[in-house]
Amino acid sequence: MKGLFITFEGPDGAGKTTQVYLVDRYLKEKGYSTLITREPGGTKIGEEIRNLLLSCAHSEMDALTEMYLYAAARAQHVKQLIKPALREGKIVLCDRFVDSSIAYQGFGRGLGMDVVESVNRYALQEVEPDLTLFFNIDIEEALNRGRARNGSLDRLEREKLEFHRRVYQGFCLLRDKYPCRIKEIDASKDIDDVFKQIMELIEYLLCCKK
């Protein structure tokens, strides 16, 4: 793969999406070819699966069903969008990827890290992020931010605080398990400070890639 794959992870309301677009604009101004995408989603099939997963009309969805739907959307995403973009030498900026599945389904739903990693091994098709940015923030602050911003909540955002605490713990454990790939961002800071933290890591990655 000639390009770079950078993923943005963390709790809902941590500010990931805002930073994805700021990073994209900065890199484009520097002459890089970029692609913004998200999970679940990114492709027509993925977006339809996203609607199923996040709709509050599906409150009865089983944890295993949820895990397999995320993996299915990811398989299509990797095959149709991410791998071709990396072959073309683009920098792919992805709002959530497999670490979110591990945190939300593995820890939040209690399915376990090993189960979710095993299922997703096939969906990933040997694609792994070059850098994962973990937006670390107090979980209650993040949820309050997200709720103030969105107004209406999706199916996962409506889960109880304890669920979101387990998800957060999952992200922290992933950070500790994969320290070379997953780098922590202090997302409690203001937008400019968070952007500065991110770009220090991305600039280092770009220098290493040369």
Per-residue pLDDT, 147: 74
- Classified as helix, coil or strand, 34 is strand
Residues in the chain: 210
Per-residue pLDDT, 178: 97
Mean pLDDT of 33-40: 98
Mind listing the pLDDT tens digit for each residue in 127-179? 999 999 999 999 999 888 877 676 678 899 889 999 999 999 999 999 999 99
Whether the pLDDT of residue 83 is over 80: the answer is: yes
Mind listing the pLDDT tens digit for each residue in 10-30? 998 899 999 999 999 999 999
**Among the listed residues 101, 93, 92, the one whose alpha carbon sits nearest the alpha carbon of residue 73:** 101
Whether the pLDDT of residue 38 is over 60: the answer is: yes
Say if domain 4-204 classifies as CATH 3.10.105.10.
Answer: no
* 121-141 exposure pattern, b = at least 16 Cβ within 10 A, e = fewer: eebbeebebbbbbbbbbebee
Q: Is the dihedral of CA 67, 105, 7, 129 positive or negative?
A: negative
pTM, full prediction: 0.95
Whether the pLDDT of residue 69 is over 90: the answer is: yes
Mean pLDDT of 54-81: 97
Mean pLDDT of 52-59: 95
Per-residue pLDDT, 210: 72
